[in-house]
Copies of this chain bind each other. A is one copy, B any other.
Amino acid sequence: MPRQITAYSNPLVKHVRDLRDKRHRRESRQFLAEGLRILTEAHETGRIPRLLFFAAASAHHPLVERLIAAVEGAGGEAIETTPDILSKLSGKDNPQAVVGVFDEFATPLDTLDRSKAGIWLVAERLRDPGNLGTILRTGDAVGAGGLILIGDCVDPFSVEAVRASMGALFTVPVVRSDWDAFLAWLRTGPGTLVGLSLQTEHDYREPAYPAPTFLLTGNEAQGLPEDYEAACDLLVKLPMLGKADSLNAAVATAVMAYQVLASQRG
């Protein structure tokens, strides 16, 4: 039987609100995900929140009922609360039906099976949580095996990244690694490392991209470091016909990922 929390001063409410803060996430190793669609997707992949907040008005929605049962069955807690607290938890005027608190999870690099997918995404020093989430969402769409984050990337469990991923945080494995460890692992098996670069004459549509292809995206402002480019098997560029010399990082990754997909599907 779910308990009710209606006081904003409740310590559990404070804990959940604090999960927007990186330090609090790091200490608690938990994160926030919102919305019936995303939480249902999480459930289907076997991720069940520790805490589930829901509004009384949606308590009898079949998907909410299923989530409540799953949370309680897994030893978590389902908590009925007010629309006002829900909207404060999610930081949105328009409150979601449900807000969930999940334990963070991690995929070690050496557990990846590169034969399982033709496309793998690799991003280095990604700064924008929206870009990270959007890249995950694209990764889900192209059937990518995972997203490998190199160096000091933004936290994939930040509220903005989770939101932009539209649930793909739960379906696309995320690995954190440093560059040397990644490169060493990559070279223990097959894999073409492809970098987007301004320092090349190769149009992105020319090459074939054999499976598995690892698509490397650089930092939003600076692109890839020179030695990272030197380590690539292939550098390609996208046509830039206007004034600017670069695309948004998530956009460039997506255009490339769909090209790789097309190349591999023949």
Provide the bound-state CA to CA distance between A171 and B242, in Å: 8
Inter-chain contacts of A205 with B (CB < 8 A): 262
Inter-chain contacts of A246 with B (CB < 8 A): 166
How many copies of this chain does one complex carry? 2
Within 8 A of B (CB), among A225-266: 238-244, 246-248, 250-251, 254-255, 258-259, 261-262, 265
Total count of chain A residues near the partner, CB < 8 A: 38
Contact B243 A167 (CB under 8 A): yes
Distance from A232 Cβ to chain B, minimum over Cβ atoms (Å): 21
Distance from A23 Cβ to chain B, minimum over Cβ atoms (Å): 16
Distance from A77 Cβ to chain B, minimum over Cβ atoms (Å): 27
Distance from A125 Cβ to chain B, minimum over Cβ atoms (Å): 16
Contact A242 B168 (CB under 8 A): yes
Q: Does A142 contact B (CB under 8 A)?
A: yes
| With A239-B261, A255-B255, A262-B205: A244-B134 Cβ-Cβ less than 8 Å | no
Q: Give 8 pairs: A residue, B residue, CB < 8 Å, sorted on A.
A: A130-B130, A138-B248, A166-B244, A166-B248, A172-B242, A239-B258, A239-B261, A255-B255
